[in-house]
Structure 1
Amino acid sequence: MRPLLGLLGVLVVLGTLSSVVRTLVIPRPSRSSFTRVVSGALYIPFQAVADRCRSVERKDKVLAPAAPLSLLLTLVLWLAAFMLGYALLEAAVSDLDAKAAIGEAGSSLFTLGFLSSHRSALTAVDFCAAATGPIVIALQIGYLPSLYAAYASREAEVTLLQSRAGSPPWGPEILARYAQAELLDSLQGLFGNWERWAAQVNESHTTYPVLILFRSARSSRNWLVSLLAVLDAGALQLAFNPSSPQTQVRMALRAGFVCLRDLAEVRGIGYNADPSPEDPLDLSYEDFLAGVARMRQQGFPMERTPEQAWPDFRGWRVNYEALAYLLAHHIDAVPAAWSGPRRTPSVMITPTTPQNRRPAAH
């Protein structure tokens, strides 16, 4: 039995070490089955409770702690797995029973030392365990600032978009508000910012996939819905005004749907990598006309009619619509306009129309 215990102990220690390195050390997308299972298992009860909530605010409040708690649980289970693995190794190289082996492994792993042995075989295992515990805890401590810095960077641009697109954001509302405020000349800057934002989110959220489940500070804000709104605004701008500057808008659209594809791969969500511009949309033409009416109401200039613009808009949206809808369903994002269905029937929330008030001239 001792060789079998030793082999099992080595497998547990090396498997847990692999999970730690993949999650905390390697600066690139590297999926860990351990962390994925822990996060998924913890999320199930939270999602089950959220599915029974009637209001968006209450559902968001239920789901908000799930992702942060998964980080804490992952650290605890990593240490527990290491303790089990080293206990198996302790038992394999000695005549210790299960209780004594776990006690000595825990004593070494947490550097307490109250059960350390003078036997050379056990001492070697104790040294390895004593080095493992502080290293794993230190890596986790260093991991959290990077994680929350990426979260803060993501949310800053999402919060800025609230005044430009309402809450929750909506593509036509972005163009309508820019037209209302006579800021159409600054649209290129908006798309330039969101091109960089999409690249940063792609990098951080594929490296640290748990960030995908981190929710915004307010239930009406969501990073995915914000990205979808910016992409829709870009597609509408290109479809209605083909003579306007296009480079920055096209780059933002490209960065946006590449970001969505990479995040879908990290979450194991399948998608069509080469959609046809002629593929149908889930967004209906009637909903498209409702968005166009909102833009026209605020004086957004249009070189084309809705009938002329629809094929081009559809050709752009087909690149990201299905992915955005799947991810929005997956993370149970706020049910915003043009963002697809959710896990439970929800009332679509549209931005409140702002009053066009200006200071009186003196």
Structure 2
Amino acid sequence: MTLLISYLPTIYQAFSRREIVVSRLELRAGTPPSACALLQWLNRSGSLHDDASQWELWEEWFVEIEESHTSLPILSFFRSPQPGRSWVTAAELILDTAALIFSAVDDKRDPQVEITFKAGCLAVNRVYRFFEEDLKAEPSKILPDNDPIEDPGRADFDKAYQDLQKAGLAMHPARDEAWKQYRELRGRYATALDFLGKLTMAPEVKTV
């Protein structure tokens, strides 16, 4: 019992740091939050390369998620104080935004966005594998490219593409190619986040 009590301040501090980023993300991504809205906020100055510090913050957040949620797994089940928020959906929002930038936006890749995307994929997949092995769960299946069931749907991607185009972003001219790349990128983390979302009963939020 003494050992457990001694861990409480550490657990609370990690939870607090996690939730600060989740709360700040909601302010930037709208209500309900979406990757499209977050991407438009990132482009508020007319250049997606002006927010390196924001992506650095998210990189640090992912690194801490990986460390804290595997060494102190109970943290994964600590719910956000506000309904509709979740660290799982926040992670999905950031990763979907990066995937949209890489696939749909016609611009050179920012190295900081790339490293943040990599950190996020590693973090959510390592937390996922921790629980999957612990619960001896069957691994989820990633849909093949020709599967008629799409996650997220092509219609949602097309709408996000059109909204970003109307907002003045330079978009990839070959939309079908952009969609395929987006789906491939999303396949790197979607299985893990789907598993963690169900495990933690995270609210379903449309992120595209």
TM over 0.5: yes
Question: Share of identical aligned residues, percent?
Answer: 26
* 1:313 partner letter: Y
* Residue matched to 1:222: 86
Asked if 1:288 corresponds to 2:152, the answer is no
Distance 1:241-1:182 versus aligned 2 partners, 3 A rule: closer
The equivalent position to 1:250 in structure 2, one of 114, 121, 127, is 114
Pairwise mapping of residues 1-362 of structure 1 onto structure 2 (< 5 A)? 136-137=1-2, 139-180=3-44, 182=46, 184-241=48-105, 243-268=107-132, 269-271=137-139, 278=145, 281-338=150-207
Deviations 1:105-160 (A, max 9, x none): xxxxxxxxxxxxxxxxxxxxxxxxxxxxxxx42x2221000000000110111111
More contact order relative to length (CA 8 Å, sep ≥ 6): 2
| 8 Å Cα contact 2:42/2:48 also seen in 1 | yes
| 8 Å Cα contact 1:277/1:315 also seen in 2 | no
Distance 1:145-1:249 versus aligned 2 partners, 3 A rule: same
Give the TM-score normalised by structure 2: 0.85
* Residue matched to 1:347: none
Shift of 1:240: 2.4
* 2:6 partner letter: G
Q: Provide the C-alpha distance between the structure 1 equivalents of 2:120 and 2:139, rounded to a whole number of angstroms.
A: 15
Distance 1:184-1:176 versus aligned 2 partners, 3 A rule: same
Deviations 1:161-188 (A, max 9, x none): 1121123432122112233464633333
Q: Provide the C-alpha distance between the structure 1 equivalents of 2:143 and 2:197, rounded to a whole number of angstroms.
A: 22
Distance 1:154-1:140 versus aligned 2 partners, 3 A rule: same
RMSD across aligned C-alpha pairs, in angstroms?
A: 2.5
| 8 Å Cα contact 2:172/2:178 also seen in 1 | no
Structure 1, unaligned stretches of length 5 or more?
Answer: 1-135, 340-362
Q: Provide the C-alpha distance between the structure 2 equivalents of 1:256 and 1:263, rounded to a whole number of angstroms.
A: 11
| 8 Å Cα contact 2:105/2:169 also seen in 1 | no
| 8 Å Cα contact 1:177/1:298 also seen in 2 | no
* Residue matched to 1:79: none
* 1:301 partner letter: A
Structure 2, unaligned stretches of length 5 or more?
Answer: none
Q: Provide the C-alpha distance between the structure 2 equivalents of 1:241 and 1:293, rounded to a whole number of angstroms.
A: 11
Q: Provide the C-alpha distance between the structure 1 equivalents of 2:86 and 2:32, rounded to a whole number of angstroms.
A: 8
Q: Provide the C-alpha distance between the structure 2 equivalents of 1:242 and 1:224, rounded to a whole number of angstroms.
A: 28
Shift of 1:278: 4.5
| 8 Å Cα contact 2:99/2:186 also seen in 1 | yes
Give the TM-score normalised by structure 1: 0.51
| 8 Å Cα contact 1:191/1:249 also seen in 2 | yes
Q: Provide the C-alpha distance between the structure 1 equivalents of 2:81 and 2:29, rounded to a whole number of angstroms.
A: 17
